[in-house]
Amino acid sequence: MTTEIGGNCGTSVAPLLGSALAHKRRDARSYRLDVGWTTFDAFFTLVEREGVALNVASLVGLGTTRSCVAGPAARALEREEREAQNRLIRGAVEEGALGVSSGLIYEPGRYADLAELTAAAAAARDAGAPLYASHVRDEGDAVEDAIAEAIAVGAGAEVAVQCSHHKAAGKKNWGKVHRTLAQIDRARARGLDVWCDAYPYVASWTELATVLPKSVRDGGDDAALVRLRDPEHATAAAFAMELTRDPELGGDGWDTILVTGVASERNEQIPGTRIDALARAWRTSPARAVIRLLLEEEMRVDSVFFSMSEDDVASVFSAGFCSVGSDASARSYSGITARGVPHPRTYGTFPRVFGRYVRQRHVFDAAEAVRRMTSLPAAQFGLRERGRIAPGMHADLVVFDEEHVVDRATYERPFVPPDGIRDVFVNGRAVVRGGALTGARPGRVLRNGR
């Protein structure tokens, strides 16, 4: 990768006020980091001062802005709050954000309705960033309605729409991607600017807390912890969770959830363990094991969910409007960000596309795979003078062996680099030579894509 776009799924590094700042400071403690910024300008300036090996850009997260103006409130925004949120969005774009993103399964973003999302996207458009990227409201039973909502936001706000890491989750929903891709096709035929991205794996990676009933999560993490500490609430939550994960009722089972990261040292041996195995080790039910782990880690648990079909992934990649994105957090092979057992997409996404979907499944050829990783996403996200090899473009280049490039990271051993990548240049300077890091930091902050 030569450019990383942050701020996806409704969460961004800025702006930070009130509840949003407190939440970011709490998360930063896991990385022994002090949050010394509250705006995009201050964060981008910090990155420029410290230096970075690759280019950095960001969307502004609507969950973050919502938290700034209304905290974890489980309700629609008041008129004054919506106006305050839109001012924050316009300010973020003026400081360099590429557009807005939503995470409509997460707190507090899931309380935003169509009107709020449309107004937010329009605020970004008015400031010069007409892009709405969405982790849609449902990726399972109601995925078609969720895609329709994203398209409606784009139409109402007159902005481009990026349906992030597109999928149909859960066995009973496999095959629905054919209908959702047709939805996007029809929208594009009407002249709407709608796209999607995907990663080449059958497992997603997100917060373990997403398995909790929505009523438990209402009001954010602190409210959820209060409910889970109450025996009556915990029992009701456990019962509801057991029902939703019951394979006989259409669930995928607890063995499909792999814990990948925790916040404390108390449970640092658990990443790499599936929920059913954890329950056996703790001599309790899987749902009770989830509740105990979330309580001990104050909700900060990440997990991999094996919920997708390989054929569905190939179908999504077959769409010419689908780009490749890792949907991974920024991590190194060593140091503070190399904790836990992260999803292998962190280290293998782009090489895996060549190995599995070019050479094995023949979904597209190598040239098209390159387009899906370079010029297509650069155009989707408004990156200027990048994504193509041509005079006047910035020299962000990857030299690789087309026949042998392949991922080596696995769910059990994710910290394994790929094979077949020889050199990487960022802004004309080598950051990888002969497969080894050079230590150079020629990356730039791409404010507004420049």
Same domain? For 187 and 65 the reply is yes
pLDDT in tens, 209-227: 999 999 999 999 999 999 9
For residue 438, being part of any structural domain is answered with no
pLDDT at 251 over 90: no
pLDDT of residue 308: 97
Same domain? For 107 and 256 the reply is no
pLDDT of residue 250: 79
Average pLDDT of the segment spanning 157-179: 97
The domain in which residue 358 lies consists of: 3-205+308-394
Classify residue 232 as exposed, middle or buried by CB count within 10 Å of its CB (0-12, 13-18, 19+).
exposed
For residue 416, being part of any structural domain is answered with no
pLDDT of residue 339: 87
- With cut-offs at 50, 70 and 90, classify the pLDDT of residue 158: very high
Do 243 and 257 meet the contact criterion of CB atoms below 8 Å apart?
Answer: no
Do 62 and 100 meet the contact criterion of CB atoms below 8 Å apart?
Answer: yes
Give the lowest-confidence range in 242-246, 350-354, 362-366: 242-246
Same domain? For 81 and 162 the reply is yes
pTM value is 0.95
For residue 431, being part of any structural domain is answered with no
Same domain? For 370 and 286 the reply is no
For residue 412, being part of any structural domain is answered with no
Residue that finishes a domain, picked among 282, 304, 326: 304
Same domain? For 312 and 294 the reply is no
Eight-state DSSP code of residue 45: H
Average pLDDT of the segment spanning 1-10: 97
pLDDT in tens, 264-274: 999 999 999 99
Do 95 and 16 meet the contact criterion of CB atoms below 8 Å apart?
Answer: no
Residue that finishes a domain, picked among 257, 284, 304: 304
Same domain? For 233 and 376 the reply is no
Same domain? For 201 and 329 the reply is yes
Distance CA 269, CA 295 (A): 16
Q: Kind of pairing, strands 194-198 and 203-207?
A: unpaired
Do 365 and 386 meet the contact criterion of CB atoms below 8 Å apart?
Answer: no
Buried b (16+ CB within 10 A) or exposed e, 79-95: eebbebbbebbbbbbeb
Q: What percent of the chain has pLDDT over 90?
A: 94
For residue 415, being part of any structural domain is answered with no
Same domain? For 245 and 351 the reply is no
In angstroms and rounded to an integer, the radius of gyration of the C-alpha atoms of the chain is 21
Eight-state DSSP code of residue 333: S
- E strands, 317-369, in order: 322-324
The tokens describing 182, both together, are 């047709």
Distance CA 420, CA 360 (A): 16
pLDDT in tens, 399-416: 999 999 999 999 999 999
For residue 120, being part of any structural domain is answered with yes
- With cut-offs at 50, 70 and 90, classify the pLDDT of residue 4: very high
Q: What CATH number does the domain containing 140 carry?
A: 3.20.20.140
Same domain? For 316 and 267 the reply is no
Same domain? For 222 and 294 the reply is yes
Mean pLDDT of the chain: 96
Do 209 and 217 meet the contact criterion of CB atoms below 8 Å apart?
Answer: yes
Report the domain count for the chain: 2
Q: How many C-beta atoms surround the C-beta of residue 399 within 10 A? A: 13
For residue 140, being part of any structural domain is answered with yes
pLDDT of residue 31: 85
Q: Kind of pairing, strands 436-437 and 429-433?
A: antiparallel
pLDDT in tens, 88-118: 999 999 999 999 999 999 999 999 999 999 9
Residue that finishes a domain, picked among 304, 322, 344: 304
Helix, strand, coil distribution of the chain in percent, nearest 5: 45, 15, 40
Same domain? For 61 and 197 the reply is yes
pLDDT of residue 246: 85
- With cut-offs at 50, 70 and 90, classify the pLDDT of residue 132: very high
- With cut-offs at 50, 70 and 90, classify the pLDDT of residue 249: confident
For residue 362, being part of any structural domain is answered with yes
Same domain? For 68 and 196 the reply is yes
